[in-house]
Amino acid sequence: MNEPYDPDAHKWLRRKTLTAENPASMRTVVDYSEYGVSVLDEPVNAGGSGEGPSPLQSVLGALCGCESVTFRRTATDMDLDYESIRFDAAFTIDIRGRLGNRTVRPHFQTVRVRAIVATDSSLEALAAVIAETEARCPVMNLLLDAKVDLEISWVRESTGGLMSVPREVATGQ
C-alpha cells in the first residue's frame, strides 16, 4: 500500500510490548504485563502438556477478539445499537508445513468464522457496520495479507430470529 506522506503520522502510532519464555518445551508463557499471563502450548498428542491453547488457536481467538473490539468501535461511530456478538470459529492446517515440507504453508489453510450479532437494527445498517469493521480490523487484514483462505459469515439475531447478512451486502460488492 503506497500511503501519502503524513508529517503527523508519528502521533498515531502505538507501541505494545510483552515478554514470552519457553523452557525448551512446547509450552510458552506470555506475560502481557498489566494484562496478566497466558500459556500457549500444544496438545499432549502433539508433544505438549496441554496447559493452554496452541499458538494458532490463540491467533484465532485474537481474530475473534479483534473483530469484537473493532465492531464495537465501528458500531459506536455509526450509531448501531446491539446487545452482543458471539463467534464460532475453526481453522485447518496441513501439518506437513510445520514438519518441514516447504511446499506446504506452515500456517492456516482455512479459517471459518460465524459471527452472530444480537441486534434489532436494520439489515442494511448492520451490513454497513460489518463492511467497515472488516476494513478496519487489524488481525483480519493481517490474515488476508498472508493470503489465508478466510471466510466470515455474519448473522443477525433479532426478535424475528436469525438472518444471514448476505456477503455482497456486507462487503458492498
CATH, range 54-171: 3.30.300.20
pLDDT tens digits, one per residue of 32-90: 999 999 999 999 999 999 999 999 999 999 999 999 999 999 999 999 999 999 999 99
Report whether 170 contacts 131 (CB < 8 A): yes
Q: Cβ neighbours of residue 165 under 8 Å, at least 6 residues apart?
A: 123, 126, 127, 130, 153, 154, 155, 156
Question: What is the β-pairing status of strands 110-118 and 37-40?
Answer: unpaired
pLDDT tens digits, one per residue of 128-144: 999 999 999 999 999 99
Q: What is the pTM of this model?
A: 0.88
pLDDT tens digits, one per residue of 78-114: 999 999 999 999 999 999 999 999 999 999 999 999 9
What are the boundaries of each domain within the chain?
A: 16-52, 54-171
